[in-house]
A = this chain, B = another copy of it.
Amino acid sequence: MLGASGYAGAIAAMLVHRHPFFELAHVTARSEAGSRLDDIHPRTRVPLELESWDPDAQSDVDAALVCWPHRVAAPAVAALRERGVRVVDLSADFRLRDRGIYEDWYGPHGAPALFGQGVYGLPELHRDAIAGADLVANPGCYPTAALLALAPLARAGLIGDVVIDAKSGVSGAGREPTSATHFISADENMTPYKVDRHRHTPEIEQELAGLGAPVTITFTPHLVPLAQGELVSCYVTPARGAGPDEVAQLYDDAYAREPWVELRNGPPGVLEVRDTNYCRISVHADPRTGRILAFASIDNLWKGAASQALQNLALMFGRDEREGLA
């Protein structure tokens, strides 16, 4: 796998390493090649040496997980696909289907010929397409939580308008030491960031539209002082009246048989899903305001990135999507 030195990459490497079916062949890093992964990330206990990426030498594999940043990922994915390697890409490069929108939010694409060829890898929405795919675009962390929170309402035509207030732990800001990720800046603090221009916005809008809810969303993320965990609070102005029973039934129909979604009566906390592939959801129709409130919590590095990549990989290879994640 490519990019094992970041937080999500390291967890993905650990999950493949422990997996009963998959085998971890290579771990690469752009600037820390030569180090052992378990020296950089002791908790993984993966005793492999990080290699520089070499598509020719490392294509002796059936599949690759690419944990590189957007725009850098695309050419690597193209090189892997040319060599017949199936790919789960954790960057944003293959999530969007409208190239103009991609370029507005991210700039020029690094592998135009492949643009739009990825299957959007949210298994609960696109399980069948993932099963046959050679290139899966693993969703962003916020879209994972927001789309799972909103999908039942979107499909039922209930989303007239929606405000998504999202909160994430500090690992979402990446492993690079910066002023913002310094303990003294983050500890005992919380703050909105990238107000009205976070790049996960078009991804959420694209998928909501695909579900039947072509809305312009208001999406604002916040940084909170914890390591891993993400909570989205979705405030839906419904397109038509809908009572608590109808709303509850929609969520039950959608998720009662999903192995990685837990419906709850009370609001979810992020600690309950820490270090797991679970998404916890609760929904409340408020008679006083007429609004529908949907909350979802995930671990941003697991269901929001690494373990969802494994879930996708399992589906691509016809395996049980719970395998290696329980």
Segment among A126-134, A151-159, A217-225 that sits at the interface with chain B: A217-225
Asked whether B216 lies within 8 Å of A289 as measured between CB atoms, the reply is: yes
Determine the chain B residues whose CB is within 8 A of the CB of A271 once the complex forms.
43, 185, 188-189
Determine the chain B residues whose CB is within 8 A of the CB of A190 once the complex forms.
167, 224, 226, 229, 231, 269-270
Most buried by B among A18, A188, A233, A286: A188
A246 to chain B, nearest CB (A): 17
A179 to B228, CA, bound (A): 17
User: Which range holds the interface residue count of chain A?
Assistant: 35 or more
Determine the chain B residues whose CB is within 8 A of the CB of A106 once the complex forms.
none
Residue of B nearest to A278 (CB): B45
- A295 interfacial contact with B, CB 8 Å: yes
- A182 interfacial contact with B, CB 8 Å: yes
Asked whether A293 lies within 8 Å of B195 as measured between CB atoms, the reply is: yes
Asked whether A43 lies within 8 Å of B224 as measured between CB atoms, the reply is: no
Asked whether A182 lies within 8 Å of B181 as measured between CB atoms, the reply is: yes
- Contact bitstring A201-243, B, C-beta under 8 A = 1, else 0: 0000000000000001110101011111101010101000000
Asked whether B272 lies within 8 Å of A275 as measured between CB atoms, the reply is: no
- Contact bitstring A8-20, B, C-beta under 8 A = 1, else 0: 0000000000100
